Structure 1
């Protein structure tokens, strides 16, 4: 009996050692992160949705002046041999009322994916940003600020399509001699109709640390099983090509983008701008965006924006932004993702000041 008990104890100890060895080998971590951004917004005009005319000035509190307020969880697990598992769950919210905002209408509507990564690249499955949208972020002179950047122009044309891609599978390559690429395919989710809601996007980038050039493509069909507010299934084709050049603390960027929206605008967007780290705690940036509808050249707009960010710490930033947009014809380019996504004909001026904290 003693020998049997001794054998059982030895077996249990052996099993425990295997379990602990596995736990030590497969190290994992989970990180909580987020952004809280709020401020004040003034615009000299607002769009009356009923008439399309000017509804007058506005002065309001605005959520997310520069970056979308958000929180998320991300984690990785070391599987050995250079392979790791990863996940991300990300939600957007409004600091104005605590409700959902910039979140695709869902709890984790910004990103929700699981993936694997090693030296051969990264594979992700789930809700994620498209390569086309990520390329626009890389080349926007103001980092796709929520105010006075290429982001209001993007959302004005296709709303959330291409930003939030559900039912998606993507692959990101490693960097080889400065070159890297991304590819994504999103299933529509409709049985018997493979084309309904189908979306795909690819991008290719070369970056040597000083000079960067990047191109991307997006193609999406309407329909599918995902219904959100704002819609993420607007049928459109997107193309972009741009470059940046960095000299010390100054970075210059320029790009061309085309939005071919089914039954709507076929817009060419040209933009250029500068970002300058004037001091370790002060960043200045500015850009100009020209939008022209190829279907009717009388529909066009030009927007210019300047911004300053003062870093109180590595987590907290004070910012100020000013922008002017001039719309002609049916073009209704707005100045801000929140509270001023569309503007009436003529010239509209806007100012936004606020504070952003990251954790």
Structure 2
């Protein structure tokens, strides 16, 4: 029984870890590794712009489709050089996703590693994403349709579509021109910091970014916190941006899992702010079959017309093997406030009303 549970956790962990460049247990001290994840899902969306829609997810649902090339070289004295090149793609047509003209749209970096940690330069996910991969966020269990969006188009996120795509960055957004330090694991404690250069001549702090994170995890529980401020040219000419703060925790008394997440996101130029809260319960029905249920509450402030949204996400996953999983995810969202229109994360558009429901059936395999 323990063997099957290890399979499921390993398959999920290696897929996410590979995207981040986190060393897996089987990676040699020197060498190059190619891997990734391929998945496809069919979705039924109850309402997008007033009509229902059935479509295929180009980037996957439970986890994104991606491949990576990762390498390291032992330089002696406990020091290694490391690199990661990773991109997302559409399984429907093979197109690259995540950045116009970007060959490696997910992450790309190079650096050095020793017993204290890893220092890299390039394009990275910030530490808000760690709140997902450490198993605190609803999107860890329900995938992209469990990420945060809702009726907050006026929030002004400059990436994605709709002005509020992954507004707290927990689902993973890359920041370019960054230097990142991620510590080694010290008896369950990890921490890190990241700084991004804005690149505007004569304006050192404009369009810059910074992020910090800390996490503690053992066999039974985990707790973590993260902070990110990312400035963008589209927000007050690079002097404004999106500030995110998040805290999360989970406990895992087998066969149960309980997780909590709270994030606060603010547009520093407009004062628009969204608080989001996830509460998840999961249960392993059998060693290969597991289910989760996540309740999410999102609350916009007066700048966002006090709009709110509540979501319920249910997932059922079956592991055929250590690498291959079939899943069903159902998410329902209800939005309220002046003119509020529901929008579930990762969907093509907002509902024509305050309600939206999506049902996703998919298959994914890790390679």
Structure 2: 5+ residue runs without aligned partners?
1-27, 151-156
Q: Does 1:167 align with 2:185?
A: no
Q: Does 1:337 align with 2:346?
A: yes
- Answer whether contact 1:93 1:103 (CA < 8 A) is retained: no
- Between the aligned partners of 1:32 and 1:347, the Cα distance in structure 2 is 42
Corresponding position of 2:256:
250
After TM superposition, the structure 1 = structure 2 runs for residues 1-359 of structure 1, keeping only pairs within 5 Å, are: 28-47=30-49, 55-63=50-58, 64-103=60-99, 106-138=102-134, 139-143=136-140, 145-152=142-149, 157=164, 163-223=173-233, 235-261=241-267, 262-263=269-270, 265-295=272-302, 296=304, 298-329=306-337, 331-340=340-349, 342-359=350-367
Q: TM-score, structure 2 length as denominator?
A: 0.80
- Between the aligned partners of 1:305 and 1:140, the Cα distance in structure 2 is 12
Deviation at 1:311, TM superposition (A): 1.2
- Between the aligned partners of 2:356 and 2:146, the Cα distance in structure 1 is 15
Deviation at 1:149, TM superposition (A): 1.2
- Answer whether contact 1:142 1:275 (CA < 8 A) is retained: no
Q: TM-score, structure 1 length as denominator?
A: 0.81
- Between the aligned partners of 2:317 and 2:122, the Cα distance in structure 1 is 34
Root mean square deviation of aligned Cα: 2.6
Q: Deviations over 1:32-89 (max 9, x none)?
A: 1111111111111103xxxxxxx21111122212111111100111112221111100
Alignment size in residue pairs: 319
- Between the aligned partners of 1:289 and 1:206, the Cα distance in structure 2 is 24
Deviation at 1:345, TM superposition (A): 3.4
- DSSP 3-state at the match of 2:129: helix
Deviation at 1:234, TM superposition (A): 8.0
Structure 1: 5+ residue runs without aligned partners?
1-25, 48-54, 225-231
Corresponding position of 1:11:
none
Deviation at 1:344, TM superposition (A): 4.1
Deviation at 1:258, TM superposition (A): 0.7
- Between the aligned partners of 2:100 and 2:62, the Cα distance in structure 1 is 18
Deviation at 1:145, TM superposition (A): 4.1
Larger radius of gyration: 1
- Between the aligned partners of 2:94 and 2:108, the Cα distance in structure 1 is 20
- Between the aligned partners of 1:336 and 1:41, the Cα distance in structure 2 is 13
- Answer whether contact 1:136 1:240 (CA < 8 A) is retained: no
